[in-house]
């Protein structure tokens, strides 16, 4: 039943493609986040990110990867397993001052029943005519980072290609550009990430066969048309700090401010066209092997059944283990709707590889 309702919803939103627009939540699958470490810290990561996931969070952080190569993988499921979210990335140091990365993000709902052909030409219901399709979003990101001649300053950029498909009904190709900087001043860390700096354009094309068109007409649904969807820029500002508590204990904290430019949003600081959404996270480390993470974000103003205004928030939790070049991270996090029933268990893996170690093992 959930999949059928989801299919009906998809048919209703296809009308978005009929005109050039800049709707809220365009390409919103790229706002979920990657890596269980960052998710456990409520996505407060643009300033302190220093691994392969920087290709997503802030490409400037790529020059801080500790080994010659890094590989990261993540899988998550949302809405009781209906939606699947996958991420994979590879990063490499070019030299002591630069690095690059390639990242892939997939968010999709598979096996959605297609009931547009349920009734045959004679008006009979034929369940054998039910097929299935997927609604899938892909992002391919190519990132480059470099250290500045200014001490403590790093910068980077990501080119991203978007591919979105709703079965055989519609598909879109998009292109966008992200840019970021990081700056270290003593023990303080500062970061800025500008997403979709030139605005990201998704060009939609629809392709319905004649039978499906007739179904749309008989059911009084508008026929989708080709069009362009625009994702407006978003700027994320962050500040963080690392503190060495003792020889074995470390502390890392960061607070970020998301500045969206697509109009008024239901966040802590609302405005038109700019709204500000703060979130923060902390990480406690032991011997650089075991990590505990906490975060809070998604602050929203809501009205309860008694018409009293209040502010809600979303807590997140995570842990991590690092041993001999392998890091396993776990996060208990939500996609952002603040429903306890939809919290997900998220795991991610990271592999650190050195050229010298790889060559030795190959010839041993």
pLDDT digits (tens, 9 = 90+) for 139-193: 999 999 999 999 999 999 999 999 998 888 888 999 999 999 999 998 899 999 9
Q: What is the pLDDT at residue 23? A: 55
What is the Cα–Cα distance from 309 to 302, expressed in whole angstroms?
6
Report pLDDT for 335. Answer: 67
The range of the structural domain enclosing residue 143 comes to 2-363
Q: pLDDT (tens digit, 0 to 9) for every residue of the chain, 364 residues total?
A: 444 434 433 443 344 333 344 555 678 888 889 999 999 999 999 999 999 999 999 999 999 998 899 999 999 888 777 889 999 999 999 999 999 999 999 999 888 887 777 776 667 777 777 778 888 999 999 999 999 999 999 999 999 999 998 888 888 999 999 999 999 998 899 999 999 998 888 888 887 777 677 767 777 777 667 778 888 899 999 999 999 999 999 999 999 999 988 878 878 888 888 889 999 999 999 999 999 999 998 888 877 777 778 888 889 999 999 998 899 999 998 765 544 456 788 999 999 998 765 444 443 4
Which residue in 305, 329, 333 sits closest to 319, CA to CA? 329
What is the number of domains present in the chain?
Answer: 1
Q: What is the CATH number of the domain that holds 188?
A: 2.40.160
Quick one: pLDDT at residue 257?
96
In angstroms, rounded to a whole number, what is the distance separating the alpha carbons of residues 1 and 239? 45
């Amino acid at each position: 039943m959930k999949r059928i309702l989801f299919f009906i919803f998809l048919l209703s939103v296809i009308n978005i493609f009929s005109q050039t627009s800049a709707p809220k939540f365009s390409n919103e699958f790229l706002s979920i986040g990657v890596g269980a470490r960052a998710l456990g810290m409520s996505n407060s990561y643009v300033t302190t990110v220093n691994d392969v996931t920087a290709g997503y969070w802030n490409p400037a952080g790529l020059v801080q990867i500790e080994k010659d190569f890094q590989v990261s993988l993540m899988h998550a499921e949302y809405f009781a397993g209906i939606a699947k979210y996958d991420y994979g990335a590879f990063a490499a140091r070019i030299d002591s001052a630069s690095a690059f990365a390639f990242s892939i993000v997939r968010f999709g709902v598979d096996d959605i029943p297609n009931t547009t052909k349920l009734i045959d030409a004679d008006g009979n219901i034929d369940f054998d005519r039910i097929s299935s399709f997927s609604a899938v979003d892909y992002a391919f990101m190519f990132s480059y980072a470099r250290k500045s001649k200014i001490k403590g300053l790093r910068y980077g950029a990501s080119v991203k290609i978007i591919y979105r498909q709703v079965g055989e009904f519609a598909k879109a190709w998009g292109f966008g550009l992200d840019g970021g900087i990081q700056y270290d001043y003593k023990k303080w860390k500062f970061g800025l990430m500008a997403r979709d700096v030139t605005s990201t354009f998704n060009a939609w094309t629809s392709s319905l066969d004649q039978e499906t068109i007739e179904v749309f007409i008989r059911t009084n649904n508008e026929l989708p048309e080709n069009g362009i969807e625009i994702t407006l820029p978003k700027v994320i500002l962050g500040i963080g700090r690392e503190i060495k508590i003792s020889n074995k204990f470390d502390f890392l904290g960061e607070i970020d401010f998301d500045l969206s430019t697509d109009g008024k949003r239901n966040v802590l600081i609302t405005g038109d066209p700019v709204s500000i959404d703060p979130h923060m996270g902390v990480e406690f480390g032991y011997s650089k092997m075991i990590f505990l993470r906490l975060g809070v974000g998604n602050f929203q103003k809501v009205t309860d059944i008694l018409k009293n205004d209040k502010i809600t928030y979303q807590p997140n939790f995570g842990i991590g283990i690092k041993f001999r070049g392998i890091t396993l991270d776990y996060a208990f996090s939500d996609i952002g709707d603040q429903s306890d029933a939809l919290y997900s268990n998220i795991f991610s893996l990271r592999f650190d590889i050195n050229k010298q170690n790889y060559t030795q093992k190959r010839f041993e």
